[in-house]
Structure 1
Amino acid sequence: MNELDEKKDSGPSAPAQTPTDSAQGEIALSKDGIILHPQAVQNDALDPLNWSSFQKHTILAIVMALYFMFTYITTTTVPSFPALQEQYNLSAEEVNWTVAIPALGLALGPLFWSSFADIIGRRVIFISGTIVALAASIGAALAPNYGGYMAARFFQGFGVSPAATVGLAIINDVFFEHQRGQKMGLWVLAIDLGLLVGPLIGGFIGLVSHTWIQWLCVILFGAILVAEIAFLPETLYPRNFMLAQESTGVAGAVTDDEKAVSVEGVGNMPDKKAVVRTKKLAFVNVKPVPALKHPQPWASLLRFLMMFKFIAVTITTMVFCYGWYWFILAVTTMFPVALLFLGLIIGSLVSELFFSGALSDRIVLKAAKANNGIRTAESRLWLAYPAILLTSGKASDPTHKLY
């Protein structure tokens, strides 16, 4: 089944075409008459946008599984704190650091992995990170001392960290823009559930043995690794090069994409058939993906540092991320009681499945119809306002007490 459900319409209802509308000369529309972005390459089975709905959602499930582990590894050990204190002779402060150290790996990892995912591809980075996380989980289960345990916990976070930035890039690779709200809602649901389900599962597994909490992580990472090897193809695709070839047969057409191919990069590739891409790449590809403009390996770190030039973006991002993560971890480490998380789990499921993602897509679609079929990212901000009111309303409830 092809995801291109759009029909070509040359009648009066179709948006006017200009030379910049599409490299293919025709504008692809969704079934609602909205201009599709990005434009898929016609008749190219290697274009991720042309893959079947089943394969796309299989890829999404793999991305969600690793993103679930992104936070699961952080909180699942909390119920084992007493056992860890006894095994390694730790104070309460020292055992709390066992939650902070994987979070440090989660924070630093994307600065390392992200640029390589834009050079050699998403698949090999996902697989490499999962192998690191799996090995680190084995190390955490067998660690003979506190130092070894902490090192293993750091690399658990570092290994699973591609699930954030690279996982989001994969979603962008395989889904059209108008579909991404719902898919990203599911993606966010995975990380939310990892935080909340982690201590719930860890509490039950800890009844058997606190080391089995880590062995379960080994099993989960092993299953994800098998799924990645078997069902996750490369999704990094030289779209601008292929669209330019489709339109003019001349490589190096000018686009506004930062990863757009340059003439120098494809001077020896006069035919699009010569470009090895997605499923045709090596099973374990370690070479730069052809026909793309590749960043420097340190580009992600540089972009992160440059973000601090934009104070409004920096403050908003830091406050949101810190507030969200701190709230969950503070409650988790203070009150590791299984039933405490049921309300948060149910709330996350309801909000992400029925409001955050799907409703966001509907709002954007409605706004686009009133804007000549053009979507704008700002349309997604409308859902933030009721969320702020609901959250602040709970915080200001004078009858609300924290026990």
Structure 2
Amino acid sequence: MSTDKAEASAAEDRSQNSGTAKHEEEAPGPLKLDPRGIPLSPQPTDDPKDPLNWNRWLKLMVLTEVSIFSFLALFSASLITPAFVPLSLFLHRDLVTTAYVTSTFILLGGISAIFWNPIANVYGRRPVYIGTVAVAAAMCGASGAAKNYGTLIALRCLNGFFGGVPLGLGSATVCDMYFAHERGVYMGIYTISFLTGGHIAPLIGGYIEKNLSWHWCFYVPAIITGGILIIFVFTVPETLYSRTPAALARPSQSWMSNMLMKRRAHPTRQLRIVDFFRPFQMMIYPSVVIPTWCYSLCFAYGSILFIITSANLFGKIYHFQPQQTGLLLGIPITVGSLVGELFAGGISDWISEKRALNRGGERSPEDRLLGIIPSALLTPLGIIIEGVCLQNKTHWIGVAMGIAIASFGLQVMTTGVYTYTAECYKPQSPELGSLINFGRQVYSFTIGFYAIPFANMIGIQDAWITLAMITFAFFLPLIPLYYKGADWRKRLGKPTFHQDL
């Protein structure tokens, strides 16, 4: 018993020094360790139905299906992108105005998690996923049948509001199931999924428009989403797990009860108005607001900038048809993201584990920031390369290289930010997912208003260089965060809500 107490005391000291939440290290019994002898964070209960204790295959199944939902969210948003030209003719709108069909989805997708995540924290992830994704599939299908611009924009707003839920809730689901030392890899799988959805869509959208019509750029994701939802209903259990003494004292519900959602997922919590403002409350913490600001710009200029402007610029400069535009955009952006994730997730976990061992088991979330360094160089570089190539009308391979390099950097940044913030404040991971998604989507929405006019005003090359320099500048605050993040968290204290998760 004295050994257990000594281990628990040492773990508590390490938790205070590294800035991680103390409750993540606490356990009612003997301290549980990972394969390298470092205390597990968070500490699991002895309940086999605790998602932290699930079999590997069950965790992977849940992760896969949630990741597919995330993939389909941005896939649904971007599949129409290569078909903007024929869509603009149908709607009798210019290309800039037509691009709002995607921009409005992005905007409402950012807002949606602010509303839905507090509900998921009380009633469970499962009912929220099922209800919102079902409505999103219906709205996506209805978009294909729209007869005018106003109706289409309204349907896309609803599509984004319901379909954007997996983009904000998925990171919380990952944290429900995986320990801190695993999150780099599994959070990376989740993040590559939603980014790739927006990247693969242009590859397919042009051919769908050519062989069917632009209407099917909405029908196809609606059909696929509906099919995946049916599988989800029968295979994915609830991942929200309350660790309050009152909840743990209750009889554990059966797997069948879990799947049928017979009782509220969090039996001791009530939904309050203040819960809808919790994500913004997290902005007082530098370990949240600095990475969120940086990532929002990185995503907007390292991904959405290419997507929103491709139909306009590739058509004018290279005289590409929709399917050619989709290929030039989709292939490099997808390859860059996939290669970036092969580097990002494993390296992030390796750095974290290696440095923890060097400190005698003391974890520090700031170690995750070291893995972001390549992004600070590659994302701005890729943006500049594309701008220079477009301005000088070089061979399209130069444009492809720029997009791929920026996408590599963005994927490294995405995995790093989601993993770092979740490791700093794991109980608040739903709020973190909401806030990051909000910042990313809302800032990306604005690009459609100024990217092309800005390029027309000063030239594509100078405009893209300016945006790249802004992106690089927002990486610089990560330097003091690396050195002072733990001290700042200790000084500000821990959030007082969700301490039971």
Change (3 A) 1:144 1:330: closer
Q: Which residue of 1 aligns with 2:469?
A: none
Offset of residue 304 of structure 1: 2.2
C-alpha distance in structure 2 between counterparts of 1:272 and 1:309, whole Å: 34
For residue 272 of structure 2, the aligned residue among 284, 287, 296 is 296
Q: Which amino acid aligns with 2:214?
A: H
Q: Which residue of 2 aligns with 1:131?
A: 134
Residue among 77, 81, 86 paired with 1:78: 81
Q: Is the 8 A contact 2:237 2:259 kept in 1?
A: no
Deviations 1:46-95 (A, max 9, x none): 11111111110010111110111221122110122233223222232331
Structure 2 residue aligned with 1:154, among 157, 168, 185? 157
- Give the equivalent residue in structure 2 for 1:247: none
- Residue 213 of structure 1 pairs with residue 214 of structure 2: no
Q: Aligned to 1:272, which of 221, 227, 249?
A: 249
For the 8 Å contact 2:81–2:308, the answer to whether it is kept is no
**1:319 has 2:297 as partner:** yes
1:23-62 correspondence runs (5 A): 23-42=27-46, 44-62=47-65
Where does residue 228 of structure 2 map in the other structure? Answer: 224
CA–CA distance in structure 2, aligned partners of residues 164 and 395 of structure 1: 24
Matched residues in 1 for 2:223 and 2:255: separation? Answer: 29
Q: Distance in 2 between matches of 1:356 and 1:346?
A: 14
Partner of 2:72: 69
**1:321-343: CA deviation from partner (whole Å, max 9, x where unpaired):** 43334433344343351331312
- Contact preservation (8 Å) 1:127, 1:229: yes
Q: Does 1:283 align with 2:286?
A: no
Alignment check: 8 A CA contact 1:203 1:338 kept: yes
Shift of 1:305: 6.4
Once the 2 structures are TM-superposed, how far is the Cα of residue 288 of structure 1 from its aligned partner? 5.8
* In 1: Cα distance, 2:215 partner to 2:131 partner: 24
Does the aligned pair in 1 maintain the 2:71–2:196 contact within 8 Å? yes
1:82 is aligned with what amino acid?
V
Distance 2:99 2:197 in 1: 18
Change (3 A) 1:273 1:312: closer
Equivalent residues of 1:140, 1:149 under 8 A apart: yes
**1:118 and 2:121 matched:** yes
Cα offsets for 1:124-156 (capped at 9, x unmatched): 111111011111012112212222211111111
Q: Report 1:177-188 matches (<5 A).
A: 177-188=180-191
Q: Distance in 2 between matches of 1:321 and 1:308?
A: 22
2-structure distance, mates of 1:205, 1:398: 26
Instruction: Give me the whole-angstrom Cα distance separating, in 2, the residues matched to 1:32 and 1:190.
Output: 29
Q: TM-score, normalised by structure 1?
A: 0.81
Counterparts of 1:324 and 1:400 in 2: how far apart (Å)? 15
- Whole-angstrom distance in 2 between the partners of 1:238 and 1:98: 40
Query: Residue 334 of structure 2 corresponds to which residue in structure 1?
Result: 345
Deviations 1:258-279 (A, max 9, x none): xxxxxxxx4xx7x724354876
Q: CA deviation at 1:167?
A: 0.9
Cα RMSD (Å): 2.9
Deviation at 1:318, TM superposition (A): 3.9
Counterpart amino acid of 2:160? G
Contact 1:234 1:279 in 2 (8 A): no
Contact conserved, 2:88 with 2:95, CA < 8 A, in 1?
Answer: yes
Counting helix residues as a fraction of each chain, which structure ranks higher?
2
> Contact (CA 8 Å) 2:205, 2:326: kept in 1 or not?
no
Q: What code does the residue aligned with 1:119 have?
A: V
Count of residues paired in the alignment: 363
Deviation at 1:189, TM superposition (A): 0.8
Task: Give the Å deviation of 1:344.
Answer: 2.1
Residue in structure 1 matching 2:240, options 236, 245, 256: 236
Equivalent residue, structure 2, for 1:170: 173
1:196 to 195, 199, 202: 199
* Aligned residues of 2:181 and 2:353 also touching (Cα < 8 A): yes
Cα pair distance change 1:312/1:184, threshold 3 Å: closer
Q: CA shift at 1:384, angstroms? A: 1.3
- Corresponding letter in the other structure for 2:7: A
Amino acid at match of 2:232: E
- CA shift, 1:182, in A, is 0.4
Inter-CA distance 80–102: structure 2 relative to 1 (3 Å threshold): same
Displacement of 1:395 = 5.2
Give, in whole Å, the separation in 1 of the partners of 2:200 and 2:118: 31
1:141 is the counterpart of 2:117: no
> Pick from 344, 354, 357: which aligns with 2:345?
357
Q: Give CA deviations for 1:108-137 in whole Å, capped at 9, x if unaligned.
A: 111110100101000011111101111101
Instruction: Give the Å deviation of 1:313.
Output: 5.7
CA spacing shift, 1:74–1:187, aligned 2, 3 Å: same
Q: How far 1:392 sits from its partner (Å)? A: 3.9
User: What amino acid is aligned across from residue 391 of structure 1 in structure 2?
Assistant: T
Distance in structure 2 (CA, Å) of the matches to 1:399 and 1:332? 12
- 1:70–1:286 distance in 2 versus 1, CA, 3 Å: farther
- 5+ residue gaps, structure 1, are 1-9, 242-250, 252-265
* Counterpart secondary structure, 2:122: coil
Q: Is the 1:112–1:298 Cα contact (8 Å) retained in structure 2?
A: no
CA–CA distance in structure 1, aligned partners of residues 44 and 125 of structure 2: 19
Structure 2 residue matching 1:127: 3-state secondary structure = helix
Q: CA deviation at 1:206?
A: 1.0
Q: Which residue of structure 2 lines up, in the alignment, with residue 387 of structure 1?
A: 375
Query: What is the CA-CA distance between 1:283 and the residue it aligns to?
Result: 1.5
> Aligned partners of 1:73, 1:110: CA distance in 2, in Å?
17
How does the TM-score come out when normalised to structure 2?
0.66
